[in-house]
Chain A
Amino acid sequence: KQEVTQIPAALSVPEGENLVLNCSFTDSAIYNLQWFRQDPGKGLTSLLLIQSSQREQTSGRLNASLDKSSGRSTLYIAASQPGDSATYLCAVRDTGNQFYFGTGTSLTVIP
């Protein structure tokens, strides 16, 4: 069974800092990995999707990397802003069409 772990569980940084969120998974047989953002009391908003054949994806200040063989992904956020404060979730999609989620990293960016 796929296990997804996100470290750290919580992170607090001053505005303007660059930061890295980590996601690890136990089974490398995946179709893709997706990073989501969740604001309190809200749904999940997709940030980046990396297919298993890709190494990274970029969108604005966000960059996600994938090392499938080692079971790791990172989400890099450049020049953090208070509006980036949210919980960030990673999910891997296995070859059985199911998504497995980590428990998330709660990010607070201090003005």
Chain B
Amino acid sequence: NAGVTQTPKFRILKIGQSMTLQCTQDMNHNYMYWYRQDPGMGLKLIYYSVGAGITDKGEVPNGYNVSRSTTEDFPLRLELAAPSQTSVYFCASSSRDRGFTPAEAFFGQGTRLTVV
């Protein structure tokens, strides 16, 4: 059981370059999330999805895009990378329980991105 898998683990980008951070989960979870973690700032929500074909903005969506074509995958796209996007990015997923109350969140191991 792999859980939530993120790739790559590390990446260095030059200003203006683009890249896609991959996230896949094998738990058949409806909900998926992208967070960024900056030192001393906690985790901030970038985008989230409640199911295939449905995405919504979180607290800090500017400079990012997402898609959710399948239940398993939730890639995060950075267009025109900027130094302010240097951060650690975490993908998470969770299920619904029988009462349709969202349940426990599971996190990937993170992608450490540096924009120079």
Binding site for B on A (CB under 8 A): 4, 31-32, 34, 36, 41-46, 49, 51, 89, 91, 93, 97-104
- Contact status B104-A89, CB under 8 Å: no
Chain B: how many interface residues by the 8 Å CB criterion? 24
Which residues of chain A come closer than 8 Å to B41, judged between CB atoms? 103
Interface of A is mostly: strand
Q: Measured between C-beta atoms, what is the minimum distance from B61 to chain A in Å?
A: 12
Closest 3 CB pairs of A and B: A44-B107, A103-B42, A43-B109
Interface of B is mostly: strand
**How far apart are the CA atoms of A18 and B31 in the complex, in Å?**
36
- Contact status A98-B45, CB under 8 Å: yes
- Contact status B42-A34, CB under 8 Å: no
- Cross-chain pair count, CB within 8 angstroms: 56
Which residues of chain B come closer than 8 Å to A34, judged between CB atoms? 104-105
- Contact status B109-A98, CB under 8 Å: no
**How far apart are the CA atoms of A103 and B112 in the complex, in Å?**
18
Interface residues of B in 1-59 (CB under 8 A from A): 31, 33, 35, 40-43, 45, 48, 50, 58
